[in-house]
Amino acid sequence: MIKPHGSDELNPLFVYNAEQRHALLAEAETLPSMMLSSAAAANAVMLGGGYFNPLTGYMNLADALSVAEKMHTVDGLFFPVPVVNMTSETSIEAGSRIALRDPNVEGNPVLAIMDVAAVESVTDEQITFMCEKIFRTLDENHPGVATFSDQGRTLVSGSIQVLNFSYFQADFPDTFRTAVEIRNEIKEHGWEKVVAFQTRNPMHRAHEELCRMAMEQLNADGILIHMLLGKLKPGDIPADVRDASIRKMVEVYFPPNTVMVTGYGFDMLYAGPREAVLHAVFRQNCGCTHLIVGRDHAGVGDYYGGFDAQTIFDEEVPEGALELEVFKADHTAYSKKLDKVVMMRDVPDHSMDDFVLLSGTAVREMLGKGIAPPPEFSRPEVARILSDYYQALDA
């Protein structure tokens, strides 16, 4: 099986020993507390699940700036985005041991215990520098820029021990999986070549066929459909609706035991190319050998070029930094001429009129009125689930 990123074995920061975990929870009640931002809480969940391997906790300012600028830490570890804990709290001291509390669960339970290595002030100029490098924009209308800029100007770094997985395990018991669990399941299947498909949306026909194309062209053993379960921007479809629609598609249209439907507990960054590379790190840590990167992967609005998330792997990711390979996909749509879904680059004789193309707005309006999009665009079983959601929203 493919090695995790940066180490021979996966090193999740969740405390799996129950006795030790209970002792740490008891200790946490005696420690000073810090309320995490949602972004920092998501980072803790990802550290706990092994997705951020080989990190042992939150980065310090020097590493955060180095990663933002060059995609590697001061010591040379390749990493595409800073993994930080920023706050407005000013009473935390270096050398202390603190309880990190979850902002996303009622009662704010302890999510992790942290040994604070450093507490550093971050200047507005440094925030601007990091935003420009990570998001390629300083526009505060960009949801990632807004979130990153609003977390505070104190950076608290150090190693952590993760004690639970926030709301993800309770709210998505059938879907939330750690990188550890996914690697184990891949081993159980006996899969060697595994293609990952990242999604924050329901999957239409084009997405479904893209998974099938990648699997066939790579002669893969299986597909990991891996959906983001954390916070999104307003207007995005909630995780439970996405989950139901994706599961229905897999159940009806894929052969048994060829697809794993799973999710991970992270808030979307909308960082385009940098987030595509982060997605590659996640999937290598899960045990996948390939990641599908399509048009406008992890993008939002028109902040990124259509294929910037592919070219970053060629132009900025050092050779050998990742073992996982990228399957580069073009825009995919149903061809009326060929009566099947194709990648547009593969059919140069087609005009735009030869494809079934619908805007997101048009699809939402149709679903809200109970009108199913054409079957060439969306499977009827999937359209039904989405239509029920939109009609309830508009009621």
Please state, in angstroms and rounded to a whole number, the distance separating the CA atoms of residues 15 and 275. 27
Show the DSSP H helices in the chain as ranges. Answer: 18-28, 38-49, 61-70, 124-135, 143-149, 168-171, 179-189, 205-218, 239-253, 273-286, 308-315, 360-368, 380-394
User: For residue 390, what are the contacts with CB-CB under 8 A and spacing of at least 6?
Assistant: 364, 367, 368
Among 113, 145, 94, 131, CA closest to 24: 113
Residue 285 is a catalytic residue: no
User: For residue 75, what are the contacts with CB-CB under 8 A and spacing of at least 6?
Assistant: none
Please state, in angstroms and rounded to a whole number, the distance separating the CA atoms of residues 150 and 145. 8
User: For residue 116, what are the contacts with CB-CB under 8 A and spacing of at least 6?
Assistant: 92, 93, 94, 95, 96, 97, 98, 156, 157, 158
HSE at residue 260, side-chain half, CA atoms within 13 A, is 30
Report in angstroms the alpha-carbon separations of 228 from 85, 237, 254, 305: 20, 11, 21, 22
Q: Integer distance in angstroms from the first to the last C-alpha of the chain?
A: 49
User: For residue 150, what are the contacts with CB-CB under 8 A and spacing of at least 6?
Assistant: none
**What are the tokens at 334?**
């149903």
Residue 200 is a catalytic residue: yes
| Active-site residue (options: 200, 212, 247, 364) | 200
- Residues facing 297 on adjacent strands: none
Residue type for position 395: A
Neighbours of 16 (CB within 10 A): 9
| Active-site residue (options: 201, 212, 247, 384) | 201
380-394 and 239-253 helices cross at what angle (nearest 10)?
160
For the annotated catalytic residues, the residue numbers are 200-201
